[in-house]
Amino acid sequence: MAFRFNILADFYWETHIDKVLDALSDLGYRKYFSEQYYGSSLEGLTVVLMCQDPKLNLKKRIRLSKNEKKIYLDIMLDLTHFIAITPKEREKIVVDKLISEVPPIISKYKLEDFDLVKFEKDLKNWMSKIL
C-alpha cells in the first residue's frame, strides 16, 4: 500500500506560502513518499501549513482518522514574520517545522507497525533537498 503524504496550506496571500508548496511539489515529495512503505497502521499524512492573522485565534488541529489510517495536522506559522522574509527563508522555516514537528506528533499515537525511524530519516533527507 502506498503512503500518501500531502502538504497543503491555509494562508494569507502576502506570505507566498504557495511558492513553498510549489518548490516542495517540484521536488516530487508525493511520488517519493508514495513509493515508501512504513507499515500498515498508517497509510497517509496530511499537513496543513497555517499562516493566518493571529486575531483569528486559530488553534492547532491534530486528528487521527482510524478508518482512513491517516493523520491530519496543522503547522502554525507566524504571519507577520512570513510577510517580511525572503522566499528561501520561508522554505527553510517550513522544512525545519516539518522535520521537527511531524515525527513527534506521529509518535504520540499507538501505531502498531509504523516505522517512525524510517519515516523520520526519509523526511529529513527528502526535505533537506529544498535548502
Residue spans of the domains in the chain: they are: 4-130
Rg of the chain taking only CA atoms, in angstroms = 15
- Who contacts 102 (Cβ-Cβ below 8 Å, separation ≥6)? 45, 47, 73, 75, 123
Terminal-residue alpha carbon distance, the chain: 30
How far apart CA 113 and CA 116 sit, in angstroms, is 9
pTM: 0.93
Full pLDDT tens readout for the chain, 131 residues: 689 999 999 999 999 999 999 999 999 999 999 999 999 999 999 999 999 988 999 999 999 999 999 999 999 999 999 999 999 999 999 999 999 999 999 999 999 899 999 999 999 999 988 87
For the four alpha carbons of 99, 25, 65 and 10, in that order, the dihedral sign comes to positive
- Who contacts 120 (Cβ-Cβ below 8 Å, separation ≥6)? 103
